Amino acid sequence: MSEQSILAPPGIFKAYDIRGLYGEEMDETTASAIGRAFVRVLARLRGKPAGELRVGLGRDMRLTAPEMAAELRDGMIFEGATVLDAGMVATEMLYHLVGSRELDGGAMCTASHNPKAYTGVKLVREGALPLSGDAGIGDVKAEIEAGLGAAPGGGSLEEVDVWDEYRAHALSFIDPSTVRPMRVVVDGGNGMAGPMVGPILERLPLELEEMYFVPDGEFPDHEPNPLLEANRQLIMERVRASGADLGIAWDGDADRCFFIDASGSFCDGDFICALLARSALGKNPSGTTILYDPRSSRAVPDTILAEGGRPGLSRVGHAFFKARMREEGAAFGGEVSGHYYFRDFWNADSGTIPALLMLELLSREGSTLAELMDEFRARYFISGEINSEVDDQAAKLQLIRERYGDGRITELDGVSVDYDEWHFNVRPSNTEPLLRLNLESLVSREDMERRRDEVLELIRS
């Protein structure tokens, strides 16, 4: 194995970020190399010398983040860039820094929702447009593998504070005077949501019950990933026990939020996306484009059309969504995984803005979240995402094409098959030998379960 592959093992370069186990796959030396390689790649993308680049930097609350971010920063400075260091912030605050100050790019030292043993880096270019495996991250990997050599030096450091300006921008998405009093349980997962979102929510007429709102990289109570059922049990129980109107939970770097209704039930991302689309269309002209992903419930395009919008599809993944948002001029885009994108937030995803918009929407409509969820649950019967380990993904996808050839087949992302009363999407994982199934019936839950089992049998046989 070469010295470069030890420095930065190929497996850490993912589809949407760079991520690995601290001490085993990544360490401070890796961070320095990533910083240097990133500046070189960014200089080519921007068509300017490295010495003219201005690059934002942030880090989350992980125990290793201060040292990792420091080496990432020094690596960028060693290559000649001016680094604007925002310190400990949430990921979307780094996006805000890059977008609002028209920087050439930015680096966020975070492992997002992963367990505490992980570290990582998210990289963006101008306008907070992300680097991905197909567009930029592979180039960073290639620079490191080729050997970085001596650093030219010449960069500089500026320390910046974006907290107040970020909060003001996030709050501008709603009319705070319309928000009615509500009791809300909030779970920050010991991540960055507490300091980021807490002061904003405190300006509203809310009775807040805070859980794990203090950043703590030990994650003493649960991992910062509310998509996993075990990690949201505590907030679901607290919402039921306290009689709260709703609950909101965030992942570790706080760029995603998730909702619990008053019954203590988790609200599927499809249905939240439909409600946020309704909110966006209430603030934009008829015909405005709203994007959603191929895994989504038909509740999303149905709601968009009912509210006078134009539904559009995007491939799964924030790099694809953000690029398509720009191309289409879409006001809003949503993924079932809880990533929600906003045109007026540099087409980037946010965990704060959806929370604020949901509180405003519930106040204006005079409905509870449980009531709105029940309307969707009574009409759209979804399986949720089901993963199956498959060695030959391509062969299985071909079997699906042949078996369901009488349906309407599209292949924007994996294979989607549509019938009038049901549909499904099967797509391969970007990082694991998995096929992911999302299926929906418009007939009944029993019909969904029957069809789900039929497709799973074909995938797993």
Please report, for the domain that includes residue 337, its CATH number: 3.40.120.10
A 10 A CB-CB count for 380 gives 21
- 355 and 418 part of one domain: no
Tokens of 424: 């499904």
| Pick from 90, 98, 92: nearest CA to 38 | 98
Tokens of 308: 């006078």
Neighbouring-strand partners of residue 185: 209, 247
- 103 and 133 part of one domain: yes
- 30 and 100 part of one domain: yes
Whether 112 sits among the annotated catalytic residues: the reply is yes
Domain of 259 in residue numbering reads as 166-377
Mean pLDDT value of segment 354-379: 97
- State the total domains in the chain: 3
- 200 and 255 part of one domain: yes
Domain end marker among 377, 396, 417:
377
- 175 and 253 part of one domain: yes
31-61: per-residue pLDDT in tens?
Answer: 999 999 999 999 999 999 999 999 999 999 9
Q: Identify the residue with better confidence: 430 or 3.
A: 430
The strand order across the sheet containing 310-313 reads: 310-313, 289-292, 332-334, 340-342, 348-349
Torsion 289-293-297-298 (CA) sign: positive
Domain end marker among 161, 186, 203:
161
Amino acid (one-letter) located at 167: R
286-316: per-residue pLDDT in tens?
Answer: 999 999 999 999 999 999 999 999 999 999 9
pLDDT at residue 1, as a whole number: 37
Chain-centroid distance, C-alpha 400:
29
- 364 and 406 part of one domain: no
Please tell me which residue in 2, 5, 100, 112 is annotated as part of the active site. 112
What ranges in 127-285 are assigned the alpha helix state H?
Answer: 137-146, 163-171, 193-201, 229-242, 269-281
Residue 372 φ then ψ, to 5°:
-70, -40
CA 236 – CA 245 distance, rounded (Å): 12
- 271 and 393 part of one domain: no
Amino acid (one-letter) located at 375: E
- 346 and 443 part of one domain: no
| Pick from 129, 199, 135: nearest CA to 166 | 199
Using a 10 angstrom Cβ sphere, with 0-12 exposed, 13-18 middle and 19 or more buried, the burial of residue 1 is: exposed
383-435: per-residue pLDDT in tens?
Answer: 999 999 998 999 999 999 999 999 999 999 999 999 999 999 999 987 678 99
- 268 and 156 part of one domain: no
CA 59 – CA 55 distance, rounded (Å): 14
- 279 and 369 part of one domain: yes
- 253 and 349 part of one domain: yes
Please report, for the domain that includes residue 404, its CATH number: 3.30.310.50
Q: Is 303 left (phi over 0), alpha (psi -120 to 50) or beta?
A: alpha
pLDDT at residue 429, as a whole number: 84
83-126: per-residue pLDDT in tens?
Answer: 999 999 999 999 999 999 999 999 999 999 999 999 999 999 99
- 264 and 298 part of one domain: yes
Domain end marker among 377, 408, 439:
377
Reduced to 3 states, what is the DSSP secondary structure of residue 382?
Answer: strand
DSSP 267-310: PPHHHHHHHHHHHHHTTS-TT-EEEE-TTS-THHHHHHHHTT-E
